[in-house]
C-alpha cells in the first residue's frame, strides 16, 4: 500500500472552493486592519502630528488605540515630547 492520491473532485473542491474562501477571509482581515491604520494616520495628521502608531485591539489585550507623536508647533518647531493617545473603540 502507499499514499492514496486525491481524486479529481477533491482537487477541484480544494482549488475552487477552499482556497478562494481562505483568500477572501485573509483579504477582509487585512482590509480591516489597514482601514484602521489609515484612520489613525488621518487623525494624527489633522491634529498636527508627524508620527503615528496604530495598536490593534487584539494586541496586548487592550482596545484599539492610536498614538500620535512629534507635534508641529505653530512656530514651525517640532515638539518631540508631545504625545496623544486616542481610543478608537
Write down the domain spans for the chain: 8-87
- Torsions phi, psi for 23 (to 5 deg): -65, -45
Residue 62 in grid coordinates: 487592550
Q: What is the mean pLDDT of residues 23-46?
A: 95
Cβ-contact 68, 83 below 8 angstroms: yes
pLDDT bucket at 2, cuts 50 / 70 / 90: confident
64 contacts: CB under 8 Å, gap ≥ 6: 36, 54, 55, 56, 57, 87, 88, 89
For 44-82, write each residue's pLDDT tens digit.
999 999 999 999 887 666 789 999 999 999 898 999 999
SS3 category, 3: coil
pTM of the model: 0.77
Amino acid at each position: 500500500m502507499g499514499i492514496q492520491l486525491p481524486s479529481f473532485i477533491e482537487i477541484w473542491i480544494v482549488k475552487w472552493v477552499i482556497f478562494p474562501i481562505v483568500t477572501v477571509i485573509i483579504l477582509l482581515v487585512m482590509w480591516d486592519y489597514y482601514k484602521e491604520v489609515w484612520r489613525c494616520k488621518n487623525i494624527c495628521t489633522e491634529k498636527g502630528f508627524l508620527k503615528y502608531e496604530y495598536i490593534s485591539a487584539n494586541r496586548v489585550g487592550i482596545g484599539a488605540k492610536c498614538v500620535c507623536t512629534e507635534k508641529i508647533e505653530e512656530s514651525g518647531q517640532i515638539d518631540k515630547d508631545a504625545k496623544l493617545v486616542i481610543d478608537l473603540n
